A and B are shown apart, each in its own frame.
Chain A
């Protein structure tokens, strides 16, 4: 099974500054999907951004962008102009294109604190 590693259990950032959350994954597949989910204190899982492995261009959603390095199997999330509402647990996830079996794998999460 694929594994997803988030090596930063906790991160902090000053409000309005930029922070990067790291994620690496292990796979032998060439086609797959990567996601970042946000889990605020309300515990709702919210999709932040997604990346298709076949796309070379890094995905961007407003203040959120990724640095997708396919060869290095790295998928980091950059949050620009951090806001208090960005404080949450962030999960990196991998989804293979395999069907008929579990194909969705999560990292252990990074808790982000935003300092006013």
Chain B
């Protein structure tokens, strides 16, 4: 069981370029999340989804877009990359609140914008 898989693990992006961070989960989770973690800091929610076709903004959505066409996939799109988007990005997924309430995380993507 692969869990939550993020690709790529590392990437260097030039200012103004765009890219998509991929996230897929094989646990049939309804909820999926994208967080960013700046060095030495906590997690900030970028976007989340409560099911296929439903997405909503989190705390820091500017400069990002998401889509959720399937239960499994939740890609994060960076448009016109800026140095302020240099961060580690985590994708997570979970069931609706219930017996298994915890979120499961991918291994993260370290993104550097130069």
Residues of A within 8 A of B (CB): 33, 35, 43-45, 47, 50, 52, 91, 93, 95-104, 106-109, 111
Contact = CB atoms under 8 A, between A and B. Distances in A.
Interface in B74-91: 88, 90
Contacts, number: 54
B96 to A, nearest CB: 5
B102 interface: yes
B97 A102 contact: no
A24 to B, nearest CB: 15
Interface residues of B, number: 24
Contact of A45 (B31, B50, B96, B105): B105
A19 B90 CA distance: 28
Nearest to B97: A97
A108 B42 contact: yes
B107 interface: yes
Contacts of A107: 42
B13 interface: no
A103 to B, nearest CB: 6
Given A33-B102, A98-B97, A104-B103, 17 more contacts: A33-B101, A43-B88, A44-B105, A44-B107, A45-B105, A52-B101, A95-B102, A100-B50, A101-B56, A102-B45, A102-B56, A102-B58, A104-B92, A106-B43, A107-B42, A108-B41, A111-B40
